[in-house]
Structure formats: C-alpha cells, structure tokens
A = this chain, B = another copy of it.
Amino acid sequence: MSGPAFNKITVVGVGLLGGSVGLAVKAADERTRVVGVGRRESSLGRALASGAVDETTLETAAGVAGADLVVLATPLGAYEDHLLAMKDALPRRAVVTDVGSTKGLVVRVAESVLGRGGPFVGSHPMAGGENRGVEFARADLFLNAPCIVTPTPHTPPGHVRKVERFWKMLGGVAIRLSPSAHDRAVAKVSHLPHVLAALIVALQGRSGQGLIGSGFLDTTRVASGNAAMWREILMTNRKAVLAAVDAADEQLMRLRDLLEVGDGPGIERFLAQAKRRRDEWAASRLRRAE
C-alpha cells in the first residue's frame, strides 16, 4: 500500500471552512495528520473534540513545521500576519493555499510575502453557508463543490497540480482561473446576488412581512450571511463588484423600459431566457452531483 497523498496538512483557522477541510481530509485518508492553528484555545479545543484536527497550536510557525500543505482559512484580514509568521518555518516542499472568497488582493499579498513563484497558490472552494464555527463543519462540505484554483504566470505548475489534487481528494471539482477572472466571475455569480438579496430585504415595508413565503426566503437566503465577512468580501473585490452593479443597473433599466411601455412579449422573452438558462444550470449541477 502506498503512503498518503499528504503526510501533514496544517489548517490555519478552524471555523466552518477550516474545520470542514480537516474533517474532509481525515475522511479521505485518516493517515494524513491535520494540525489546527487558531487564536483561541476554546475553538481549537472544539476542533479537536470534533475530530477535525489531530493536534492544535496557537503558534503559526510551529503549526506549519513539517507540513506538505498549509490551508489558510481565517478572515482575509489576518492572512498577512499568518504568512509573515510562517514564512521562515515552511518546509521547502510545502505549498500554501487558502479558502478566501476573493483572489486578486489575496494573491498579491501572498506573493509579496512568500515571493513570486513561491509556495502560494490561491483557492476558493465555493461551499459554506450562513453558519459559522467548527460546530457546523462537515466532511462532505466540498463534495461536488466548484473549487477554483487561481495560479499566476509565476506559479510553479507542480504547485497548482498539488492544490488541484487536494480539492479533488476532498470531493470538489477543481477549476483553474486567473485571480482576476475569478474575481470578475464570482462578483457576478455570488457577490452581486448577495448585494441584491440584502437590498430586497431592505426594501420590504411593514405590510409585506406577513406575506413572506418560501420564494422570498430562498431568494434572500444568502443575506443571512455574516455581515463582517461579506463586508470584507465586497471591499476586497470592489472593482469587480462595482462593474457587476453597473451591469445589473443597466439590465434593470432595460427591464424598466419594457414594463413602462407595456412590452409583454419583450418581458416574456427576457423571463423565458432566464428560466431556460437557470433550468439548464440546475440540471447540470444535479448531473455533476450524481
């Protein structure tokens, strides 16, 4: 029997995503040792108790010693400190990745600390939900989830393949995009929908509240996400989100015109095309999950 694909993986930050990485790694190959780095003994203790990590430490440098792979899973604002702390303790063979929702700024920061052509390869597994904390971590969180890997022209191809293998091992679907292509795509597929969901909630008046049904709750589900986390996402992807907002506003005004002049066939064409596309995507996601 061959050895494990990874001997030791260090997860920095043991919340929902970090904890799920740990559980998924252990489920894939229990021989892989998982080290959890955190700021508080209490959350590290819960991560240990849940089986997401085998050992814990408050020291980033100590945590990454001997690791094949380091996964940053803290808020984006804490990345730079952790990268600086781990820089001299990283083994030569180690690759560093992350789970952050925006990539342009993250990759720039990581390459400036660890070096261009260095060990960092950005990742963004599109999985999660409204809940936070290791209590909600699940071994199958990444199952069939798009896991975007964002190399730059300087990233060693072997590092990219290693990170892609990692996400596949966790059940994800690895997708390669440049950091900026990633940011533009998620601005449209995730960040703008979040903004619009919050906006729909903000628009409701008193009389509407008794009328809230499952359609409204589904449409606005993402607006129940953590506000501080989403502030960070929107602020670190401002340029792409602004472009998506402008594109949305243009479409909204086009639809407004159709309504104003009472162009029923035009409205139906717009709705029918959206229905066709969404039905197709929902079906293709179901097929991926099979």
Q: Which residues of A contact B (CB under 8 A)?
A: 126-127, 145-146, 148, 173, 175, 177, 181, 184-186, 188-190, 192-205, 207-213, 215-228, 230-231, 234-235, 238, 241-242, 244-249, 251-253, 255-256, 259-260, 262, 264, 267-268, 270-275, 277-279, 281-282, 285
Number of copies: 2
Do A235 and B267 touch (CB < 8 A)? Answer: yes
Do B215 and A193 touch (CB < 8 A)? Answer: yes
The 4 closest A-B pairs by CB, nearest first: A198-B274, A227-B272, A227-B271, A231-B268
Docked Cα-Cα span, A264 to B260, in Å, equals 36
Docked Cα-Cα span, A277 to B196, in Å, equals 15
| A270 proximity list for chain B (CB < 8 A) | 198, 202
Do B196 and A200 touch (CB < 8 A)? Answer: yes
Do A203 and B247 touch (CB < 8 A)? Answer: yes
Q: Which residue of chain B is the closest to A173 with respect to CB atoms?
A: B210
Do B275 and A224 touch (CB < 8 A)? Answer: yes
Q: Which residue of chain B is the closest to A232 with respect to CB atoms?
A: B264
Do A277 and B217 touch (CB < 8 A)? Answer: no
A238-B259 CB under 8 A given contacts A228-B268, A270-B202: yes
| Option from B148, B177, B219, B235 in Cβ contact (under 8 Å) with A264 | B235
Do B277 and A201 touch (CB < 8 A)? Answer: yes
Docked Cα-Cα span, A209 to B221, in Å, equals 20
Tell me, rounded to whole Å, the shortest Cβ–Cβ distance linking A66 to chain B.
34
Docked Cα-Cα span, A242 to B188, in Å, equals 24
Tell me, rounded to whole Å, the shortest Cβ–Cβ distance linking A139 to chain B.
17
Do A245 and B256 touch (CB < 8 A)? Answer: yes
| A198 proximity list for chain B (CB < 8 A) | 270-271, 274-275
| A278 proximity list for chain B (CB < 8 A) | 201, 217, 220, 223-224
| Option from B195, B209, B271 in Cβ contact (under 8 Å) with A255 | B195
Q: Which residue of chain B is the closest to A128 with respect to CB atoms?
A: B215
| A208 proximity list for chain B (CB < 8 A) | 185-186, 188-189
| A195 proximity list for chain B (CB < 8 A) | 252, 255
| A281 proximity list for chain B (CB < 8 A) | 209, 212, 217
Do B203 and A190 touch (CB < 8 A)? Answer: no
* A190-B215, A190-B216, A218-B222 given; 7 more Cβ-contact pairs under 8 Å: A146-B210, A193-B219, A202-B273, A204-B277, A223-B275, A238-B260, A242-B260
Q: Which residue of chain B is the closest to A212 with respect to CB atoms?
A: B281
Q: Which residue of chain B is the closest to A177 with respect to CB atoms?
A: B207
| Option from B184, B241, B274 in Cβ contact (under 8 Å) with A202 | B274
Do A244 and B203 touch (CB < 8 A)? Answer: yes
